[in-house]
Structure 1
Amino acid sequence: MNNLDDMLLFAQVVKLKSFRAVAEQRGVASSVVSKHISRLEKHLGVQLLIRTTRKLNLTEAGREFFRHCQQLESSVALAERAVSQHAEQPQGLLRIAAPMISGQYFLPAVIDEYLRLYPDMRVEMIIKDSFQDLVSSGFDLAIRTGTLSDSSLRARRLVESRWYAYASPDYLQTHGTPSAIDDLALHNCLQFSYQETGPHEWPVTTGGKPGKVKVQGRFEASSLVTLREASVSGMGIAFMPVYLVREQVKQGQLVAVLQDHIYRDVGIYAIYPNIRYVPRKISAFIDILSDTYAEQCCEFH
């Protein structure tokens, strides 16, 4: 025990008026309680209790010290209540790092529901396709897509999305439709700067096995939304997630190419610090986030 523990123990002894009763509550021997009270008196240089065979009496110094110990007890109880409120009812600020697509398409509805459920919360979201260092940047949570490499963080898989290669009908009419993977070398393949394999390779599944396809093209962007718009305009072929181009495919602005040859299933994850007790503000948000992605999961393929 330290001095603060001894002070709380002393206050408990005074209130119960018994070393034995305190020892029973704490599951220790009476001699242990007596030892800590003696140590406290030695530290203070005064006698706090007058011990007799029948009862305990406070000295004048003991009465004064007990008053301060009661204030300490109240402060500890107040601190515990304040922290437990955070555990039960989220309060404060939640900082989120999200890639462009999640930040624009999925998270606004999630955040809206989260703020309605937890009126004492505020949310700040930073949208950036490049990975943020979660801990050093002060984020509580990040959304990440693809391969995870940082083992110091915890991850909850939200959904798996499928990717295909897409091009506009006008582009295919002008440049021809590739019928084999090798045909991609003859096309302007639009490139995503933040692809984990680098912009000049598409991480794909061919014949049920993961692999890479080397591509070349004259346009590279750090945003998949930009690549989608470029492919719609007829600039080239882009490798993109199904959910991002759903409307464009329905409207006939884009069509999938080599659909039977290459695709990719990509995990989308909620990433958060690897701590023993995850704050309620984080776990509550992830629960809503997971439900939202699960509802749309069937549309991601």
Structure 2
Amino acid sequence: MIGASELAIFAAVVEESSFSQAALKIGLSKTVVSKKVSALEQELNTQLLYRTTRKLSLTDAGKLLYKHAKGINQQANDAFTAINELSQEVSGHIIMSVPTISGELLLADLVAKFCKKYPKVSIELRLENKLVDLVEEGVDLAIRTAELADSSLIAVPLLQSSWVVCCSPEYLNSTNPLKEIDDLKMHNCLCYDLQANGGNEWRFTKGEQQKSILVKGSMSSNNALSLKKAALNDMGVIYVPKCSVYEELQNGSLVQVLQQYKARSLGVFAIYPYTRHKPEKITLLIDSIKQAYRSLEHIFN
């Protein structure tokens, strides 16, 4: 009879890619762990793992079983967390994935203050522009600026982030006119590769009308700071989140163009995997993030 303990051991072996490391993680001997997995294979009458001297890999049956077994340890952790939080102060480790703009703008400072306020909480802050698979990579919380597709993840809306088209005054005064969207075809447009529909497709609305234009230029980047520096060096026109160029728009080193058109606006969300009991540390961190964003709402809209 297969029990939850055997499935939990199997999941640990898969996640650690090692019988030895799994044994250390769950506090059993390597021999016991190996026997438990072998017994599981015998019970199911199928091979779950390919074993070599260098690595372990899953068979198709192993992949299917792991898909169902991997949640067991998480459910146990959720249960222990729920009980512990009744009698203990907030504690634990959080792996957090955030876009570079948000991380540099406010979340790095916020995380430092949060850890200071809750000294038994540790946070691994990953600044990355790729959309990671939270469940696959073990990420507890992510901040995303996007049009979200349906998913099993829980999304907490934080605010809207508006985009702008801008360039330096020197560039604007030394090139062709830039008064209508079609004028962009005559300009060096520096593209932000993170845009969902391609960095060279710039979208606008005016009243009820929507319009997009394919642009081209001498540079593209997945980092808004790089594009801002290029624009400040009079290289061309950029289409980026307003928050990334707010100070430059205020001091005049960059100027907004095509203001009669509305550039894109995307929601900013805090996202975490579904659990029956959301850990208190995640709730508190999301609340802190929401307050921080709201306090800077003027630079996003």
Give the structure-2-normalised TM-score: 0.69
The SS at the match of 2:179 is coil
Q: How does 1:253-272 map to 2 (within 5 A)?
A: 253-272=253-272
Matched residues in 1 for 2:162 and 2:81: separation?
44
Q: Deviations over 1:105-152 (max 9, x none)?
A: 110222122112211000101111111111101100011002112511
Residue 95 in structure 1 maps to residue 95 in structure 2: yes
The amino acid of 1:101's aligned partner reads I
Matched residues in 2 for 1:91 and 1:259: separation?
47
The SS at the match of 1:182 is helix
Matched residues in 1 for 2:146 and 2:81: separation?
38
The SS at the match of 2:90 is coil
- The 3 A distance-change label for structure 1 pair 196 and 132 is same
Tell me if the contact between 2:249 and 2:255 (Cα under 8 Å) persists in the aligned partners.
yes
Q: How does 1:201-212 map to 2 (within 5 A)?
A: 201-212=201-212
The amino acid of 2:101's aligned partner reads I
In the other structure, the counterpart of 1:36 is: none
Cα distance, 1:251 vs structure 2: 2.2
In the other structure, the counterpart of 1:58 is: none
Matched residues in 2 for 1:110 and 1:249: separation?
25
The amino acid of 1:267's aligned partner reads G
In the other structure, the counterpart of 1:6 is: none
Cα distance, 1:275 vs structure 2: 2.0
Tell me if the contact between 1:177 and 1:257 (Cα under 8 Å) persists in the aligned partners.
no
In the other structure, the counterpart of 2:84 is: 85
- The 3 A distance-change label for structure 1 pair 174 and 90 is same
Instruction: Point out the structure with max Rg over C-alpha.
Output: 1
Cα distance, 1:86 vs structure 2: 3.4
- The 3 A distance-change label for structure 1 pair 203 and 273 is farther
- The 3 A distance-change label for structure 1 pair 214 and 93 is same
Tell me if the contact between 1:89 and 1:280 (Cα under 8 Å) persists in the aligned partners.
no
In the other structure, the counterpart of 1:238 is: 238
- The 3 A distance-change label for structure 1 pair 210 and 118 is farther
In the other structure, the counterpart of 2:288 is: 288
Matched residues in 1 for 2:269 and 2:287: separation?
12
Cα distance, 1:210 vs structure 2: 4.9
The SS at the match of 1:136 is helix
For the aligned residue pairs, the C-alpha RMSD in angstroms reads 2.0
**Structure 1 runs of 4+ with >6 Å offset:** 79-82
The amino acid of 1:109's aligned partner reads D
Q: How does 1:1-301 map to 2 (within 5 A)?
A: 83-86=82-85, 89-301=89-301
- The 3 A distance-change label for structure 1 pair 299 and 221 is closer
The amino acid of 2:299's aligned partner reads E
Matched residues in 2 for 1:201 and 1:271: separation?
27
Matched residues in 2 for 1:298 and 1:130: separation?
26
Give the structure-1-normalised TM-score: 0.69
Cα distance, 1:269 vs structure 2: 0.7
Tell me if the contact between 1:197 and 1:203 (Cα under 8 Å) persists in the aligned partners.
no
User: Which of 238-247 and 178-187 deviates more?
Assistant: 238-247
* Unaligned residue ranges in structure 2 (runs of 5+): 1-77
Cα distance, 1:89 vs structure 2: 3.2
Tell me if the contact between 1:154 and 1:274 (Cα under 8 Å) persists in the aligned partners.
yes
Matched residues in 1 for 2:275 and 2:208: separation?
37
* Unaligned residue ranges in structure 1 (runs of 5+): 1-78
Matched residues in 1 for 2:223 and 2:169: separation?
22
